[in-house]
Amino acid sequence: MPDTQDSRQNHGRAGGRAAVALLVTLAGPVAYMLLLDNARLRASGAPAFGLMATGAALGLGAMWFDRRLRVRLAGVFNILFLGAFTYAFFWMMALPPSNVVAIGTSAPEFVLPDQDGKPVALADYKGAGPVLIVFYRGYW
């Protein structure tokens, strides 16, 4: 195919689309870090995934119109980066295994501070009846 003005212009547009796609894809994790204070957005990752999916779609579109190596590499990078972020997001969000005490068994011996910071041992309450343990989430 001869190199015409029109084909050079289309190559330039696709190259620009690939660059924009990279920027949009890389903006996803940045948006996630900036929105960490919002619990709902932190838990869902919706803005980050939305930006990264848009970047991947733009990269695929650029690859469709331009077969040059740098445009293909940019498109492949977008897809791989989206996959890596998705894997890391769900892998890091997984809770670690815990040692759960089965219902009906005795609790292990422990000493913890109370609301005033004084140490309280479970052994001090043995034989006095049932013990209710409350863990406060946060600092009031």
Joined tokens for residue 115: 């609301």
Q: Where exactly are the structural domains of the chain?
A: 5-93
Dig out the tokens for 139 from the structure.
């600092």
Q: What is the pLDDT of residues 65-118, one digit of tens each?
A: 887 888 888 888 888 998 999 898 888 777 777 777 788 788 888 898 888 889
CB half-sphere exposure, 91, CA atoms < 13 A:
6
Put simply, whether the predicted model's pTM sits higher than 0.95 gets the answer no
